[in-house]
């Protein structure tokens, strides 16, 4: 079961997930929501659409824009709608 951790703290864990371009995307209900803060950052992927980001806050430390998701992806990526992936030092073990 994949688990995402940062600074030794579990951010998300689920046996339901999607893998796209080597990134594990976790379902929204698997997140420890209290560790996620909405970010104003947005990026665009030609085939997935516009991504939104979260900043992580764990034990008084922040990791800006370390998680991203597609709230309204293009049809080719509809399987990851709302699912969250990580980078910037977050480890994902499978």
Q: What is the CATH number of the domain that holds 78?
A: 2.170.150.40
Domain span holding position 9: 3-93
> In which band, very low, low, confident or very high, does the pLDDT at 65 lie, cut at 50, 70 and 90?
very high
pLDDT in tens, 70-87: 999 999 999 999 999 999
For the chain, what is the domain count?
1
For residue 15, what pLDDT is reported? Answer: 96
| Closest C-alpha to 85, from 28, 43, 23 | 23
For the entire predicted model, the pTM comes to: 0.96
**Cβ within 8 Å of residue 24, ≥6 positions away:** 2, 4, 17, 18, 85, 86, 92, 94
């Amino acid at each position: 079961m994949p688990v995402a951790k940062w600074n030794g703290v579990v951010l998300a864990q689920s046996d339901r997930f999607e893998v796209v371009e080597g990134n594990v995307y976790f379902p929204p209900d698997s997140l420890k929501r209290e560790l996620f803060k909405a970010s104003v950052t947005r990026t665009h992927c030609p085939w997935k659409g516009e991504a939104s980001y979260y900043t992580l806050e764990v034990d008084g430390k922040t990791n800006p824009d370390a998680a991203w998701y597609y709230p309204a992806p293009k049809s080719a990526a509809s399987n990851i709608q709302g699912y969250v992936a990580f980078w910037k030092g977050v480890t994902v073990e499978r």
